[in-house]
Amino acid sequence: MNKSELIEVVAKEAELTKAAAERALSAMIGAIVKTVSKGDSVTLVGFGSFKSAKRAARNGKNPKTGATIKIAATTVPKFSAGATFKAAVAGKKAAKKK
């Protein structure tokens, strides 16, 4: 599913126009990107968490020449799926909390 297909589904499910669904989806994505880029996390209970993670500098290997190269440290986005999402993908019902 690509972005335009997702917009169609959201518009249908939420009974919105495609334009309104596109604005809502773009606003949500923008808010997540802005928050994670500042170093904060976004948690959508049951769906998952978006956060940033630091990746240390390391040595790599050029696959074409076999030469060792240095890969700089960087910060990357990370997504961790929530229990409900994991259960849905696995085809199981989510366990209820006690």
Q: Are 18 and 7 in contact (CB under 8 A)?
A: yes
Whole-structure pTM value: 0.79
Q: Which CATH architecture has domain 41-92?
A: Irregular (4.10)
Residue with tokens 């940033």: 52
Sketch the domain layout of the chain as residue ranges. Answer: 1-38, 41-92
pLDDT digits (tens, 9 = 90+) for 35-74: 999 999 999 999 999 999 999 999 999 999 999 999 999 9
